[in-house]
Structure 1
Amino acid sequence: MRKVLAASAILAVAAGSAFATNGDNMIGVTPASEAMGGLGVGMPIGSIDSIFRNPAWMNTEKGFTVSFGGILFMPDVKGRVNMGGNDSGYVSSRANFFTVPEIGITNRINDKVVVGIAAYGVSGMGVDYRDKHQNLSNMHTTLQFMRIIPAISYQINPNLSVGVGIDLAWGSLDMGAKLCTNIMNPATCWNAGGGQSSSYGIGAQIGIGYQMGNLMLGFNYQSPVSMKYKHVFDSDNNGSFEDLKLQQPQEVAVGIGYKVMPNLKVGLDLRWINWSDADGYKQFKWKDQTVIAVGGEYQVNPSLKLRAGYNYGKSPIRSYSGLDGMMPTNNIPNFARPFPDYNVQWFNLIGFPAITEHHISLGGSYQFTKNFAVDLAYVHAFEKKVESSGQYCDLSNCYPSTVGAKNAQNEVGIALRWSF
């Protein structure tokens, strides 16, 4: 299985990691879904998207469909550390352009069964502060996470369908930083990064779709996926790089869709993402998210569809004051050195600032021929700022400190789709 996953993952790492938007998860995996704010649970958006969002809706497929495309992410990320009055100000990360591909195939076997397989880059983030201000410690990170999902949908009756999928996951993590145990003595600083590390995992999902007239209802459950990235970080300067457990969390989603007119449908999805119980994210104190997505699709004519949407999820990384920098109370699996609360927040906001909340999206599709169509999407995530304050402590002193991050994003997606 590893050889299959590794070969498929080549698509996802051609140019880097995604900088995703609901925590480290993309709001959608296809341009059709992203243009509608990430919908796809409560109503069908397309058979390829359904493999990921709700496999029950694959049963809307009439024949054979193949689609491939990609998303260009253009994040504008800034970090700030004010340590004892030595203020870096907000410094821009160099990691400002990423690509993520998607490819999928679905096929109707008979009047009840549709099968499919798809590969998506679904999660990720990254920053690059190398050779920037010394307070940012040369922090550079990349997290890439891809799911390859074979799925099947079964039509129980004209109104009800169910679907299941197996999530074969591949991930890659790099955490690099120049850490110091005594900031007044540079000789005690070391390069803590162990380089890029890959891991594999497996999960599952189950979806239900119900349609009665113009009303559509959906449910989807996605299990957690446990990953272990080996030899990625030296937390205590002993020359040995430790592993990091980082579990992609479970998700529960429900949604509703309604066909207002023959050429207009609207929908609303709610997703609960359980960061607070996922290994790694839990120890870094990420909060659970309830994500709301609303969107609509209007068929202008037989060839042209227009889409729009909105997506909101409160940042899983929150602002704090009075963070302790002395007591190492947070055991990060499997780091040798526990982290004080301030250090945890420093890693969150400088290394993994997944803090965007509000997103608007636009897009559409054009049917060039009976068999060929193109889907387009544009998403803008409004700038979000999170700052926390407390103490940074080295071996001899503690310093009043503030750490902060700003994050805004733009993305453009395109997919080519053939149906037969």
Structure 2
Amino acid sequence: MSIKFAKLSAAALSAAALFTVYSAEATNGYFVEGVGPKAQAMAGVGVALPQDALAAANNPAGTALVGNRLDVGFTVFSPDRSARIRGNLAGADGDYDGNEKSSFVIPELGYTRMLSSQLSWGVAVYGNGGMNTGYQSNPFAAFGSSGEAGVDLSQLFITPSLAYRPTPDHAFGIATTFAVQRFEATGLQAFDNPFVSASAGNVTDRGYDTAHGWGVKLGWIGRLREDLSLGATWSSRIETGEFDRYEGLFADGGGFDIPENYAVGLSWSATPRLTVAADWQRILYSDTGSVGNSLSLLFQGKPLGADGGPGFGWQDVEVTKLGAAFRATDDLTLRAGISHAEQPIPAGEAFINILAPGVIEDHVSMGADWRTALGEFTVSYAHAFEETVQGDNSIPTAFGGGEAELTMSQDILRFGWSRNF
């Protein structure tokens, strides 16, 4: 087992290296809709329906229920983001395309192993979210900015898990999550002065900076009857270090903690071939100052980067997911799902969120698995329907007033390979 673990460690490090290159916007705010192609094909459901070695990313109790297996995969992610400014007295009116980079590749890896009939362990390596915009025509040029404007945030999660199955009907799991974030901002000179920032010179064009921290995940999955299972999971807030190079941009001296979230789910075997599952999730964006604090604090004496200073104004969101899997033959399973998320960005915060237009609400997804002698191959596709947030008193008078409008849609193609052993 030590040789296998060494191979796994090397694979995990390789995946980690890849994550330092690629970043993307996620789908429910800046959290991914689901981890793994099987979950993604069912709109991200996985709290009560573990399906692969990445199960701990959705619920660590799932590590006890998937057996000995290895899963590897990658996602091709293509967001379309844009912004519009109207009625601005400073001359910023225009339509702005944020797609300087239009597609991203994101790898993932999972490994689980049973230590006994009751105890299992595993590790999952995946991206939980991020945000990326690149405006070659700078929306903030009229206020004194220059060059391409945008941000690039990527997140890598490494989640080792341990799960205990005291009876055949119940499993409990615990995991620790090591999170690494990388961030860069460009073209924000309009905000890089002592009147706006508590740390002028540390707002924009400072290259990439990294921050990391630890969190905890807990989970349970219980079979209430032969055809019905319930699950629940909680992930703590991950307090990462500060982005020191951007201590003048993010609240609390460059803080950008990863929000707490929790979820419940159910899985119902409607027939021997058809499984229906649903999840409900809540993400507490408002508890992280740099994400949840309003930009309006800037005009109440709180500059960017200050303790309790302005942020992106995001509010907490609830996400509902519904998916189905149909085993068409012994070797082929078909999957589909739909999901809906509440809008994280209030209309009054549209101006600053030109940098992070995570406005997506509705998704539809589908996919299939093929079981072969070489392992199981999975493909999934998800489409996030175009969503627009129209500003309401969104541009402060000090910046010339008017309204900002944010629009985004997304396409997500995912591939995976797995083997039981």
For residues 356-409 of structure 1, give each alpha carbon's deviation from its aligned partner in whole angstroms, at most 9, with x where no partner exists. Answer: 00000000110012x601111100000111121434455xxx622211211000
Q: Which residue number corresponds to residue 53 of structure 1?
A: 58
1:40 aligns with 2:46: yes
Q: How well do the aligned residues superpose, as a CA RMSD in angstroms?
A: 2.6
Residue equivalent to 1:333: none
Match of 1:176 among 166, 170, 186: 186
Tell me how far apart the structure 2 counterparts of residues 295 and 410 of structure 1 sit (CA, whole Å).
18
Q: Which residue of 2 aligns with 1:324?
A: none
Q: What corresponds to 1:331 in structure 2?
A: none
Pairing partner for 1:351 from 355, 374, 379: 355
Secondary structure of the equivalent of 2:258? coil
Are positions 1:259 and 2:269 aligned together?
Answer: yes
Q: Which runs of 5+ in 2 are unaligned?
A: 1-8, 193-199, 294-310
Render the CA deviation track for 1:256-288: whole Å, top value 9, x for unaligned: 110001111001100011111123112232111
Q: Give the Cα–Cα distance (whole angstroms) in 2 for the partners of residues 40 and 163 of structure 1.
A: 14
Q: Please show how residues 44-123 of structure 1 align to structure 2 within 5 Å.
A: 44-46=50-52, 48-62=53-67, 64-82=68-86, 83-84=88-89, 86-123=92-129
Once the two structures are superposed, residues 155-188 of structure 1 have per-residue CA deviations (whole angstroms, 9 ceiling, x without a partner) of 1111111011010111111122233379xxxxxx
Q: How far off its partner does 1:315 sit?
A: 1.8
Aligned match of 2:325: 297
CA contact (8 A) 1:18 1:121 kept: no
Residues 121-155 of structure 1 show CA distances to partners (whole Å, capped at 9, x for unaligned) of 11111000134553594321111111101101111
- Cα 1:175–1:86 shift into 2, 3 Å: closer
Q: Mark the CA change 1:121 to 1:281 in structure 2 (over 3 Å): closer, same or farther.
A: same
C-alpha spacing 1:97/1:229, structure 2 compared with 1 (3 Å): farther
Q: Residue type matched to 1:79 in 2?
A: A
1:311 Cα deviation after fit: 1.3
Show the counterpart of 1:330.
none
Where structure 1 has 5 or more consecutive residues not aligned to the other structure, the ranges are 183-188, 237-241, 321-343
Q: Is the 8 A contact 1:143 1:171 kept in 2?
A: yes
1: CA distance between counterparts of 2:138 and 2:149? 9
- Measure how far apart 1:108 and its partner are: 1.1
1:163 to 141, 148, 173: 173
Residue 24 of structure 2, aligned match among 18, 33, 47: 18
Question: What secondary structure is seen at the aligned counterpart in 2 of 1:210?
Answer: strand
Report how far residue 201 of structure 1 moved.
0.4
**Equivalent position of 1:367 in the other structure:** 371
> Which residue in 2 is equivalent to 1:287?
315
TM score, norm. by length of structure 2: 0.84
Deviation at 1:299, TM superposition (A): 0.3
Q: Which residues of 2 match residues 230-269 of structure 1 at below 5 A?
A: 230-233=243-246, 235=248, 243-269=253-279
Deviates more, 1:189-198 or 1:102-111: 189-198
Kindly provide the CA deviation profile for residues 223-282 of structure 1, in whole angstroms up to 9, marking residues without a partner as x. Answer: 11012343333759xxxxx94101111111101110001111001100011111123112
8 Å CA contact 2:50, 2:66 repeated in 1 = no
Structure 2 counterpart of 1:167, which letter?
A: T
Distance 1:194 1:289 in 2: 32
TM-score (norm 1): 0.84
2:390 aligns with 387
Q: Report the counterpart of residue 140 of structure 1 in structure 2.
A: 150
- Measure, in 2, the Cα distance between the counterparts of 1:246 and 1:166: 19
Could you tell me whether the CA contact under 8 Å between 2:366 and 2:381 is conserved in 1?
Answer: yes
- Residue 13 of structure 1 and its aligned partner are, at CA, apart by 2.5
C-alpha change, 1:7 and 1:65, in structure 2 (3 Å) is closer
- Secondary structure class of the residue paired with 2:167: coil
In structure 1, the residue matched to 2:229 is 216
In the alignment, which residue of structure 1 is the partner of 2:288?
Answer: 278
Distance change in 2, residues 1:86/1:118 (3 Å): closer
Whether the 8 Å contact between 1:25 and 1:124 is mirrored in structure 2 is yes
Identity of aligned residues (%): 25
Q: Which has the higher strand share?
A: 1
Q: Which residue of 1 aligns with 2:16?
A: 9
SS in 2 for 1:195: coil
Question: For the residues of structure 1 that align with 2:352 and 2:315, how far apart are their CA atoms?
Answer: 15
In structure 2, C-alpha distance between the alignment counterparts of 1:181 and 1:174, rounded to whole Å: 15
Give the direction of change, closer, same or farther, for the CA distance of 1:199–1:235 in structure 2 (3 Å limit).
closer
Q: Which has the higher helix share?
A: 2
CA distance in 2, matches of 1:131, 1:72: 26
Cα pair distance change 1:372/1:126, threshold 3 Å: same
CA distance in structure 2 between the partners assigned to 1:53 and 1:178 by the alignment: 36
Aligned residue for 2:219? 207
CA 1:130–1:227 in structure 2 vs 1: closer, same or farther (change >3 Å)? farther
- Per mean C-alpha deviation after superposition, the further-off stretch among 142-151 and 82-91 is 82-91
Q: Which residue identity does 2:45 align to in structure 1?
A: L
Shift in Å at residue 9 of structure 1? 2.3
Amino acid at match of 1:192: T
Aligned to 2:306: none
Once the 2 structures are TM-superposed, how far is the Cα of residue 193 of structure 1 from its aligned partner?
Answer: 2.6
Pick closer, same or farther for the CA change 1:9–1:229 going to 2, 3 Å.
farther
* Distance in structure 2 (CA, Å) of the matches to 1:94 and 1:409: 15
**Cα 1:108/1:99, change in 2 over 3 Å:** same
Give the match for residue 307 of structure 2: none
Number of residue pairs matched?
378
